Amino acid sequence: MGTAIAEGLLKSKFCKAADIVVTKRNTTTLQALSQRGVKTTSDNSEAVSKSEIIILAVKPYQVSEVLNSFKPVIHSKHVLVSVVTGVLIKDIQDSIGKKIPVFRAMPNTAIAIQQSMTCLSVTDAASAQIAFVNKLFSTLGKVAVIDEKLMDAATVLGACGTAYAMRYIRANIQGGIEIGFDAATASLIAAQTVKGAAELLLEKGSHPEQEIDKVTTPKGCTIAGLNEMEHQGFSSSLIKGIATSYNKIVKG
């Protein structure tokens, strides 16, 4: 996720490569970024002391170790953005022991191509800082500012949602091959059709059922297929899957 954000920032030209520092313990895997001019280091403390915005993109169990590694150098003018799943803003502030602006961001992997859906929540930030972080993620896709209590729901719908969509597209490819296409053509048709359907909703602000009405001729093939999918539990299985993912986060 950290490298995907760096790639997105480079592609969008939001900032210069030389203004980005990416840290990880094993920096050998960051060669592609360093060749493009991004600074790479395993020294978190040095990276934080030379930066203004810190994006924390580690696994939840690594948070406390990483926060400790730069705790002595972080100060109230820093802005910390955590993309870590399930770690509360309050826990980060308590761990640091200083009152600094902390954002939680829940992007998805499409951030690498500037097509993320990112949900943001914030505590103790000035309006200019909120505007800046909003702008940063807006260059990497779309942004919704949400209450922190909705972050688990945002994780499911926005981040796990990429996997659900992929499985939907994969099923279309499988079906497409069964009805005559080779895999490459079926993949292109399935992915572009889903992209176009999503763009219709985003650009026109219409409801999915309005768009479905335009495609379903009475007694036609679309409604016959759709109704069969519903008889087989299509919408219900998706809703149950979303609720199961959510319960897994909330109840463990």
Ligand X SMILES: NC(=O)c1ccc[n+]([C@@H]2O[C@H](COP(=O)([O-])OP(=O)(O)OC[C@H]3O[C@@H](n4cnc5c(N)ncnc54)[C@H](OP(=O)(O)O)[C@@H]3O)[C@@H](O)[C@H]2O)c1
Which chain residues interact with ligand X by CB under 6 A?
1-2, 23-26, 44, 57-60, 62, 65-66, 69, 83-85, 106-109, 159
* In the complex, minimum distance from the CB of residue 237 to ligand X, in angstroms, rounded to a whole number: 22
Residue closer to ligand X, measured from CB, 91 or 211 = 91
* In the complex, minimum distance from the CB of residue 228 to ligand X, in angstroms, rounded to a whole number: 32
* In the complex, minimum distance from the CB of residue 184 to ligand X, in angstroms, rounded to a whole number: 26
Residue closer to ligand X, measured from CB, 8 or 107 = 107
Residue closer to ligand X, measured from CB, 85 or 114 = 85
* In the complex, minimum distance from the CB of residue 180 to ligand X, in angstroms, rounded to a whole number: 34
Neighbours of 193 (CB within 10 A): 13
Residue closer to ligand X, measured from CB, 9 or 186 = 9
Residue closer to ligand X, measured from CB, 2 or 241 = 2
Radius of gyration of the CA atoms of the chain, in A: 21
Helical H segments across the chain, by residue range:
2-12, 31-35, 44-49, 63-70, 89-96, 127-138, 151-154, 161-178, 183-204, 208-215, 221-231, 234-251
Q: Edge-to-edge strands of the sheet including 53-56?
A: 53-56, 79-82, 102-106, 116-123, 141-145
| Pick from 41, 97, 49, 51: nearest CA to 73 | 49
Pairing between strand 53-56 and 116-123? unpaired
Q: Please provide the size of the chain in residues.
A: 252
* In the complex, minimum distance from the CB of residue 194 to ligand X, in angstroms, rounded to a whole number: 18
3-state secondary structure of 237: helix
Written as six digits, the tokens of 234 are 């299509």
* In the complex, minimum distance from the CB of residue 116 to ligand X, in angstroms, rounded to a whole number: 9
Residue closer to ligand X, measured from CB, 121 or 186 = 121
Q: Following DSSP, what letter does each residue of 62-107 receive, concatenated?
A: GHHHHHHHHGGG--TT-EEEE--TT--HHHHHHHHTS---EEEEE-
Q: What CA–CA distance (Å, rounded) separates 110 from 179?
A: 30
Give Dmax (Cα) for the chain: 69
Q: What CA–CA distance (Å, rounded) separates 174 from 163?
A: 16
Residue closer to ligand X, measured from CB, 94 or 230 = 94
